[in-house]
Structure 1
């Protein structure tokens, strides 16, 4: 599919400035509609007790046909079939007051013809949640992941023979929240280090430090009016060179909006404001821009959810000639429980990547349809279709892509 030049583009960015390892919980009965997921005893799998831990293993196997594996422009597409196996393990211990959760996964991908695209990725993370009382919560999360770059991501490699980029990610996050009768307060700090495994990609290695504080006041029922301040410090491994400036920078900003707490119909937050980008290199200009952070789920019924995810702000870039990059992205997703054993998901995604200093913009639009059938206790089958199209001021970065897959998931 083709779209006229304009602010149109999709896909999720490989947001290296804020990479957190996530995996589908082995406890969930469905992977595609967790917001409306039921808790049907017929499909519930009891965890295995190992010492003090409750352990939940699972494995997923997928076959996917991809019309454009390398996300190449028209006329250069290479199609192939990918076979993927992903084992996961979740271990839990604790009670409502103090809980520990450990997750680990491996993902092993093999292609029928393009064997250079084969990859092995994996990760482990741990979460500790403390609830000393009903008003206070402390959440600590840390982990490591070996990540694979999606060929359709902004700034992704699209060369034949080299395979996708691989990254090592180390991350840690501490989040404290207090919700009183009328007030809300939260503070969050995080650390993320991204290290490309290949020396030729050393210019993409960087460390990010983030601090964020939010204060809110209950204006009606579950609705809190909030104000948020944040700062993001980005430190690249390679500094200024004869051909490029120092890309270290500090971004800070403020947002105002609403948070929804303990609401049956509305969940999440919606915040709008501004950001200020201050580069370390004196030859680069700072700038101020519009900032958006929206993640809201609306449940008109228990079996139906509409999820809106909006972001606008500064992100890391390694594009030659670009001083910085601003991303705008919107995703609207619908989830539905059609029957007690049949779930559906549909989503539409848009993204614009604006490369400051180079004059290049890229726009993407795409969609996703998925069905998951719970065939029995611990066994489900998933069918999924994905389509995407990217337009760019640089014709070498344009592509169309269509993917369809069938998966089987087994929880033990």
Structure 2
């Protein structure tokens, strides 16, 4: 769908990694999906935030205030506009144990304000309810429903908004569920979900859609630390309007399969990689079906206890209403390094590459490359100070599609 963002625009590349990976990734075994090697998760006596006990549940609340310098607010190739931006976020979550599982209710919101371009000011908010059940150590069931009011990112190649238009609002509704059983040598899992995207501007009516997805994963343990797996998946996109602005019916089915391997060598290396194919089946007879390469992978490497390097790779079909395009194929690669510099000082570096290939459209392929880094200083278990910096550049055939942007951030996080 679109690149919906609640974060600074310099992170367009990195956000598209997250959004597109969520849309594409159905092939990871349960253990691979849940791995988190970041040193942030290591025990840190004196700085561990445990939340507030409320009855038999736990309340987690966080407030974040940041100031950004942005050197190309509208992500244009010419006549760039600098600005200073303030972002205030608040989130609260309440978790309650229920038998062998838990239920978590969460809410969040943000205020985004600009000094020189107040028409870019926006508010975002959302809520979710999640249920997790663990009947046994090898079995788990998860379900979630969520609503988010997001703002379309300026980096979104599908956008109809120009630099003089206000940020486009998007309502996103999500419902999903999954079940995994790893109790034997043969492991299997099921994942189903649906998402509804409602772009509130009348100019974006042809982009409103309901997406459905389902995947079945079967794995076989061939050694103590190695599984092989195969997964079949199917997606359906139903757009609200019968045709887009060019008169094309964008409704489509996508089917595919992936085979891969997951390997776990203690805490040092964990990850998976899968390769397969996908096949598009458009409803519009003027669009030819397309068969493409599907890639999915994530590998976490810890060369030392306080260092973690994570590699992510995704390639697959993504919805498009771009005029003239018959299919959009996204390829996403990312590397993130997390480092505990001192007991209360954390650092990170990241690099990413995003390629969006439009078939049948003269403006062709968009290529984004970005890198960034950050430091977080833990003052105590409730307060931290952080700084971030990042640069992103997009290359394309058409001058209008090119841009580069640099952002520097200073912020504070406060946990209640």
The secondary structure found in structure 2 opposite 1:311 is strand
Secondary structure of the 1:314 match is strand
Task: Specify whether residues 35 and 19 from structure 1 end up closer, same or farther in structure 2 by C-alpha distance, changes over 3 A only.
Answer: farther
Verify: 1:389 aligned to 2:389, yes or no: no
Matched, 1:218 2:221: yes
Q: 2:201 aligns with which of 162, 183, 198?
A: 198
Instruction: Look up the match of 1:256.
Output: 259
Pairwise CA RMSD of aligned residues? 2.2
Cα gap change, 1:119 to 1:262, in 2 (>3 Å):
farther
C-alpha contact (below 8 Å) 1:72/1:158 kept by paired residues: no
Give the C-alpha shift of residue 35 in structure 1: 5.3
Give the counterpart of 1:365 among 366, 369, 384: 369
Q: Structure 2: 5+ residue runs without aligned partners?
A: 1-11, 25-35
- Relative to 1, partners in 2 of residues 1:337 and 1:161: Cα closer, same or farther, differing over 3 Å? same
Asked whether 1:176 is paired with 2:175, we answer: no
Distance 2:300 2:263 in 1: 10
TM-score between both structures, scaled by the size of structure 1: 0.90
CA distance in 2, matches of 1:260, 1:163: 47
Change (3 A) 1:269 1:395: same
2:7 aligned partner: none
> Does residue 112 in structure 1 map to residue 129 in structure 2?
no
Aligned residue for 1:43, secondary structure, equals coil
Higher helix share: 2
Superposition TM-score, scaled by structure 2 size: 0.89
- Contact preservation (8 Å) 2:326, 2:358: yes
Matched, 1:103 2:82: no
Question: What does residue range 147-158 of structure 1 map to in structure 2 within 5 Å?
Answer: 147-157=150-160
Rounded to whole Å, the distance in 1 between the matches of 2:98 and 2:90 is 26
CA contact (8 A) 1:13 1:154 kept: no
Query: In the alignment, which of 187, 208, 212 is matched to residue 211 of structure 2?
Result: 208
Q: Is the 8 A contact 2:38 2:307 kept in 1?
A: no
* 1:41 Cα deviation after fit: 2.7
* In 2: Cα distance, 1:340 partner to 1:95 partner: 35
State yes or no: 1:91 paired with 2:94: yes
After superposition, the Cα gap between the structure-2 partners of 1:37 and 1:287, relative to the gap in structure 1 and judged at 3 Å, is: same
Aligned equivalent of 1:133, options 132, 136, 145: 136
Question: Residue 103 of structure 1: SS of its match in structure 2?
Answer: strand
2:61 to 57, 69, 72: 57
Q: Is the 8 A contact 1:36 1:304 kept in 2?
A: no
Query: How many residue pairs end up in the alignment?
Result: 392
1:328 aligns to what? Answer: 331
- Report deviation, 1:318: 2.1
Q: Is residue 380 of structure 1 aligned with residue 384 of structure 2?
A: yes
Which secondary structure does the structure 1 equivalent of 2:339 belong to?
strand
Structure 1: how far apart are the matches of 2:37 and 2:401? 32
Distance 1:332 1:16, change over 3 A: closer
Q: 2:73 and 2:148 mapped to 1: Cα distance?
A: 23
Distance across 2 between alignment mates of 1:178 and 1:280? 36
